[in-house]
């Protein structure tokens, strides 16, 4: 597998998967044309004369491409004016080692689209029939659309107290942390406590317990990894993990392999914020707690 596993995307805007099915670019276009994704429709195009399947204008600055490259299928984000796949790979390496987590909204969205596409290509290479991506199939909200909340960046002061807002800057949750940053209480807009987070330090790697109504509903822990740390554990008895870039605050929240939410960065009219996107509304309160935990992990790692 080598030092880096690029078969899952991992939030860096590039992925490479073994072409075990011997797909051609035409095969990829035919198969992807009938698969629902969250970022557009595919069309045949080229990058500097190299035939590629393209998803145009995924964001204002980025297209997403996928094509056969020797014995592999590669995919990634690319500037809408077109740059070489070598430049895209170099961009991937820069993102991978950008430990300060600095990514704009367009980059985060394009990287997420690449991860979503990589998930589909991996299933196709495994011989599975795919009708839609895991993201589009997972939406379970009262509106039928993904719900977004916003949390100010750099919120962790000595004694953190902050709100989580709607897009219109209406407070929906209040988070109150103690001076040691080892305990957080989360209340909804009606003042009712919906979750409590307790942090335990085990060596240098923290472990977090999520309580609701006095009962433990989740246990998450930071896991060391060569390129970047991970957060793993259980939530409601199911396997919890993040897919993407934790330190860059650009990741999907997976429960038993299914996406229930995602967190990235966004620019709003009042500040640069972390955006918490709710894909499964039944986990909304827990997703708020997970975002607070992730912010604490990143803040502690940077410190």
Question: What digits encode the pLDDT tens for the residues 226-236?
Answer: 666 788 999 99
> What are the backbone dihedrals phi and psi of residue 293, each rounded to the nearest 5 degrees, phi first?
-60, -45
**Predicted local distance difference test score (pLDDT) of residue 224:** 73
- Confidence at 103, pLDDT banded by 50, 70, 90: low
Question: What is the distance between the alpha carbons of residues 184 and 182, in angstroms, rounded to a whole number?
Answer: 7
Question: What is the distance between the alpha carbons of residues 103 and 94, in angstroms, rounded to a whole number?
Answer: 11
Please report how many Cα atoms fall inside a 13 Å half-sphere around the Cα of residue 234, on the Cβ side. Answer: 5
Give me the torsion for CA of 85, 230, 134, 120, rounded to 10°.
30
Q: What share of the chain is helix, strand, coil (3-state, %, to 5)?
A: 20, 40, 35
Please give the share of the chain, as a percent, with pLDDT higher than 90. 50
- Confidence at 182, pLDDT banded by 50, 70, 90: confident
Question: What is the distance between the alpha carbons of residues 53 and 135, in angstroms, rounded to a whole number?
Answer: 20
- Helices 25-32 & 105-125, crossing angle to 10 degrees? 100
**Is 2's pLDDT higher than 60?**
no
**Is 126's pLDDT higher than 90?**
yes
Question: What is the distance between the alpha carbons of residues 5 and 2, in angstroms, rounded to a whole number?
Answer: 7
Q: What does the block give as tokens for 2?
A: 């080598």
**Predicted local distance difference test score (pLDDT) of residue 53:** 97
**Predicted local distance difference test score (pLDDT) of residue 249:** 83
Question: What is the distance between the alpha carbons of residues 260 and 134, in angstroms, rounded to a whole number?
Answer: 10
Q: What does the block give as tokens for 255?
A: 């429960």
Q: 3-state DSSP call for residue 16?
A: strand
**Is 99's pLDDT higher than 90?**
no
**Predicted local distance difference test score (pLDDT) of residue 247:** 82
Instruction: With beta carbons less than 8 A apart as the criterion, state whether 244 and 250 touch.
Output: yes
**Is 3's pLDDT higher than 60?**
no
**Predicted local distance difference test score (pLDDT) of residue 193:** 97
The pTM for the full model equals 0.69
Q: 3-state DSSP call for residue 81?
A: coil
Question: What is the distance between the alpha carbons of residues 56 and 44, in angstroms, rounded to a whole number?
Answer: 10
**Predicted local distance difference test score (pLDDT) of residue 228:** 66
Q: What mean pLDDT is predicted for residues 72-77?
A: 96
Q: What does the block give as tokens for 42?
A: 């595919």
Question: What is the distance between the alpha carbons of residues 136 and 76, in angstroms, rounded to a whole number?
Answer: 20
């Amino acid at each position: 597998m080598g030092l880096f596993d690029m078969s899952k995307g991992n939030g860096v805007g590039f992925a490479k998967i073994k072409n075990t099915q011997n797909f051609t670019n035409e095969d990829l276009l035919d198969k992807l044309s009938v698969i629902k994704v969250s970022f557009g429709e595919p069309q045949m195009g080229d990058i500097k004369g190299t035939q590629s399947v393209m998803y145009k204008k995924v964001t204002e600055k980025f297209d997403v491409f996928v094509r056969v490259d020797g014995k592999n299928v590669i995919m990634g984000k690319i500037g809408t004016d077109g740059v070489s796949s070598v430049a895209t790979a170099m961009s991937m390496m820069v993102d991978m080692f950008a430990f300060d987590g600095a990514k704009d909204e367009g980059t985060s969205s394009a990287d997420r689209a690449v991860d979503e596409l990589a998930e589909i290509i991996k299933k196709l290479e495994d011989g599975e029939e795919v009708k839609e991506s895991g993201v589009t199939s997972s939406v379970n909200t009262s509106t039928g659309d993904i719900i977004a909340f916003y949390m100010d960046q750099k919120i962790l002061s000595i004694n953190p107290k902050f709100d989580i807002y709607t897009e219109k800057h209406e407070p929906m949750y209040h988070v109150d942390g103690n001076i040691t940053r080892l305990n957080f209480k989360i209340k909804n807009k009606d003042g009712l406590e919906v979750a409590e987070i307790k942090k335990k330090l085990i060596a240098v790697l923290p472990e977090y317990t999520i309580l609701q109504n006095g009962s433990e509903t989740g246990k998450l822990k930071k896991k060391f990894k060569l390129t970047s740390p991970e957060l793993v554990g259980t939530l409601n008895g199911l396997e919890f993990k993040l897919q993407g870039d934790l330190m860059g605050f650009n990741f999907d929240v997976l429960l038993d392999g299914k996406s229930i939410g995602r967190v990235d960065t966004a620019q709003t009219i009042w500040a640069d914020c972390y955006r918490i996107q709710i894909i499964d509304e039944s986990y909304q309160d827990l997703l708020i707690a997970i975002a607070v935990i992730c912010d604490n992990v990143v803040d502690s790692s940077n410190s």
